[in-house]
Amino acid sequence: MPELIPEPRYARFAPEGGECVLDDPLLDAGPGAEGTARWLRRELGAATGWDLPAPEAGHAYGGRAVIRVALRPELARGAGAESYELHVTRERVLLEGADPAGLFYAAQTLRQLLGPEAHRRAPAAPDRRWRLPVGDVRDAPRFGWRGLMLDVARHFMPKDGVLRYIDLLAAHKLNVLHLHLTDDQGWRIEIKRHPRLTEVGAWRPRSRWGHRASPLWNETPHGGFYTQDDVREIVAYAAERHVRVVPEIDVPGHSQAAIAAYPELGNTDVVDTAALQVWDDWGINENVLAPTEAVLRFYEGVFEELLELFPAEVSPFVHVGGDECPKEQWRASALAQERIGELGVDGEDGLQSWFIRHFDGWLAERGRRLIGWDEILEGGLAPGAAVSSWRGYAGGIAAAEAGHDVVMCPEQHVYLDHRQAGGPDEPVPIGYVRTLEDVYRFEPVPPKLSPEAASRVLGAQANVWTEVMENQSRVDYQVFPRLAAFAEVVWSRLPEPGERDYADFEARMGAHYRRLDVLGVDYRRPGGPLPWQRRPGVLGRPTEGEPPNV
């Protein structure tokens, strides 16, 4: 049986069925299949050396092998959106999708069936004849939201790195890239009406090396941002690969970079905000936005430009953060206390809810949906808002039972910055040990949810916070191979966590490691980190024991 990841719903490849030998095949694309045909010519053509010409109009295939790609909308009636079928005979390969996304995932399965070398950017053996086993695949995803969050605020990932991660998501049939674009340590997106957000806010003078308990510092200034043209390229590149991009602009906390650029955004009656710099440390920062109409107008301007860059068809959701907002400055601020009285809200938690509710209504008027971390439950959940449940399952359960959509991303299970083993060689160990098997046994829908509430779980997301990931290699190490296990969890219809066949998954990972090698992914090997992947002497923050199931 071919070693496919994620595991399809149905696959049959009989050893006696023979092979389809592909030697410069034709590519026959039906109406609506042009996007997948382009991808096959560009990606599969690069790896194999095939030209993949279209058949001549009115002529038979002339005895040549052919790859046929076509839409078949009726598949959706039985299997749902993003479903596909793949059929291999001795002469032909047929890829059919219920929609363009499903057809694209059929192409990803075809590439896996051809072998790890089909992931190359140039052919290793130009005269090679490629072979496929004769058989059939029928497949569809379990969830519509299959995501990865990349924190590009703490350590900036250049545009080419983001495009590379979009390709890696697509190769694993994941379809959401959540970009954490702003935080205390950096503002990463150009806003033309507020140029100081990137002129000042995108750069910090130094960075702590390791966890915030570490005494070590990297004294090299760090920064970077995406121009608006960069963002347009990222969004278009993602859309071509059926990946939705969810931008995150954090309010009202995690905002020191913005306040450093525009001091009037902060609580000026209790803090000398003009003296603030972009923060160079990790943790929760006390400098939060002031609860004023002027601040709302400022961020409305930010979101107006954001919506132009992230069209609704690619980015229906906009993330506003809403997490880890300390209230001390609001308690000390006469202006904030006066605002609480004017608004008639329930204290400082009510102020935070007022922030979120304002932007929920503002985004809804423009055809978008707000999503935020589960702290947006504090002070009352904004109507229509969706929740990223990160502190555990509890916030997601409460939101779903109240009729709100939920993306499950509990830190105890799918925070990929958490360490992968308990050994002393794990680089900058953070949090609980979350092995490949642990991630494989993650379940996005907790059993205590009612059936109606369970239908509110849009899917799940693995989160990658980059305080201790200073470059692409470090991100790769923390993300892979665990993202492959996560991808199977959110795509495949697996048994209950304790009944899942991890041994089978581990066996299929043998081929997948070779794919990751070809793709140039600096993943963690099963035997532990390679010498250059270690960070001896750099303090982390390991947490012992089993994570609580909260």
Catalytic residue numbers read 183, 254, 324
Using alpha carbons, list the distances in angstroms from residue 301 to 198, 230, 334, 437. Answer: 15, 19, 26, 45
Q: By CB neighbour count within 10 A (0-12 exposed, 13-18 middle, 19+ buried), where does 438 fall?
A: buried
Are 454 and 460 contacting, i.e. CB atoms less than 8 angstroms apart? no
Peptide bond into 526 cis (omega under 30): no
* Residues 149, 34: Cα–Cα separation, whole Å: 29
User: Which two tokens mark 125?
Assistant: 């053996």
Handedness of CA 423, 429, 435, 436 (dihedral sign): negative
Structural contact between residues 319 and 247, judged by C-beta atoms closer than 8 angstroms: yes
Beta-carbon contacts of 158 under 8 Å, excluding residues fewer than 6 positions away, are: 224
Helices (H) and strands (E) in the chain, counts: 19, 24
Angle at 438 between CA 461 and CA 549, to 5 degrees: 75
Half-sphere exposure of residue 395: CA atoms within 13 angstroms, side-chain side: 24
Structural tokens at position 455: 């239908």
Tokens of residue 426, six digits? 């794990």
Q: Omega into 481 within 30° of 0, i.e. cis?
A: yes
Pairing between β-strand 369-373 and β-strand 386-389 as defined by DSSP bridges: parallel
